[in-house]
Structure 1
């Protein structure tokens, strides 16, 4: 593999980890899937796609193989993988179709159908942890638009811990940097000592949070995000990657 492509693969790793973690519902399984896919990819001749897209394709292929071998739980359907690639990773429908080896018209049809399904099966109560009141209000509107209820809004680390204990949310949507109010990841870590709840972290710099070197979140979305991105990430976090009905 040329050095230039190897460098491109390294730059693509944070986004590949995000895709694989959302695909499997787990940091550990997702990162292992990336590692296995990367080993397959470096032994192949360079493809026609960019290094990032080739890595997405390798991950999708490896996930399908592992599903057939029954070595990994919760492998996702094509519609869900399409949604992850287009909404979470920001690819076009044609790029996603190429990665999953289906034609573009089929991809467009399945994406449209999945849009309708995803909003109807992932409704829950969500605790928002966000230090900026205006941003928190915008997130609240998106959550309601996606069919969820708002368990509460916490602007500081201490408020988040107290609200979580009081409301027992079905999901936590947490900003990482709470300014003078503390740290969203520390708040979640404290909350997890007394309950188990799926978490989506929000950050403007996902590449800094997806290094694979420490315990990191399985679900990360990038600021700013669209309602559909939130809906998909919420579904994945709640179900752990169980296929759409």
Structure 2
């Protein structure tokens, strides 16, 4: 294969997986800006030295492995951590097993098999399994808070409420439209919003979230969509937390637990 074709193949492989690296990085850092900064640093590292992108492993694992090297080298830190929302998250995260959040997100949100995660972090499959078990234990004892669900399908709303309630959180309501969502947030002041993209009366969960974040800029919002790539382009603003339809219970639990760590409200408590 010619150098040109190799370069083209590499570019296509990275482009196909880049949206999901952005999703992972944003969920890991709790921020679109910080997550995208790490994703950009990953691309820069590959451009500087093509050999860091392994060709003998699946492309997604190869891309995430480059990211993981940068993440661990920097100590898994956040921008301006001493004065930002992320600084408070650092305190929440300090008690967790090192590496547990990373493997949980890769396994539950990105649906990567244990074998691929082992390649990413440079550990055995048994070690990855142990980290996953630790993550599930620690998340079950994590921070609890008040959640607003924005979903116009009654069955899906009930399913989400069941999952969130079983985690120890309080569901303060379910909004079916953009207008209702904004009104409920102003009234209930939840710690977290979980929203579908397409709502009743053809209103948008994205627009609802934008309205909410204009008034409550630090409120974590988790989006649920069948087309995640549309919200993972790197444009501003885009979500830090994103679940793909059809979702699994494990995905919802993981995303909610991660997002709760980044909530800045004072009503949070230990579950």
TM-score by length of 1: 0.91
Partner of 2:17: 12
Aligned to 1:188: 209
* Structure 1: distance between partners of 2:208 and 2:196: 10
Contact kept, 8 Å, 1:130 with 1:154, in 2: the verdict is yes
Inter-CA distance 129–70: structure 2 relative to 1 (3 Å threshold): closer
The structure 2 residue matched to 1:145, chosen from 146, 162, 166, is 166
Q: Give the one of 38, 49, 62 matched to 1:54.
A: 62
The 1:187–1:61 alpha-carbon spacing in structure 2 relative to 1, beyond 3 Å, is same
1:36 aligns with 2:41: yes
The more displaced of 117-126 and 45-54 is 45-54
Aligned mates of 2:201, 2:61 — CA distance in 1: 39
Structure 1: 5+ residue runs without aligned partners? none
Q: How many residues align?
A: 241
Deviates most, 166-175 or 111-120: 111-120
* CA contact 2:182–2:211 (8 Å) conserved in 1: yes
Cα distance in 1 for partners of 2:240, 2:213 equals 14
SS at match of 1:192: helix
Q: After TM superposition, list the pairs within 5 Å mapping 1:134-213 onto structure 2.
A: 134-195=155-216, 196-213=218-235
How far, CA to CA, are the matches of 1:65 and 1:186 in structure 2? 37
2: CA distance, partners of 1:145 / 1:70:
30
Q: Distance in 1 between matches of 2:45 and 2:257?
A: 30
Shift of 1:39: 1.6
Tell whether 2:223 aligns with 1:217.
Answer: no
Deviations 1:89-147 (A, max 9, x none): 00011211210111111111121121121022132111000111121111111111222
SS in 1 for 2:234: coil
C-alpha distance in 2, partners of 1:134/1:185? 21
The residue aligned with 1:229 is 251
Partner of 2:84: none
Taking only aligned residues, the RMSD between alpha carbons, in angstroms, comes to 2.1
For residue 68 of structure 1, report the CA deviation from its aligned partner: 7.6
Report the alpha carbon displacement of residue 50 of structure 1 after superposing the two structures with TM.
Answer: 2.1
CA offsets, 1:71-96, max 9 Å, x none?
77559831110001100100011211
In 1, Cα distance between equivalents of 2:233 and 2:109: 18
Q: Does the 8 Å CA contact 2:224/2:243 hold for their aligned counterparts?
A: yes
| 8 Å CA contact retained: 1:122, 1:234 | no
Q: Which residue of 2 aligns with 1:99?
A: 120
> Which deviates more from structure 2 when the two are superposed, residues 95-104 or residues 187-196?
187-196
Secondary structure, in 3 states, of the residue corresponding to 1:49? coil
Q: Give the match's secondary structure for 2:9.
A: helix
**CA distance in 1: counterparts of 2:46 and 2:142, whole angstroms:** 35
1:45-71, Cα deviation, whole Å (9 max, x unpaired): 251112221111111111111228997
Q: TM-score by structure 2 length?
A: 0.83
Q: Distance in 1 between matches of 2:77 and 2:227?
A: 36
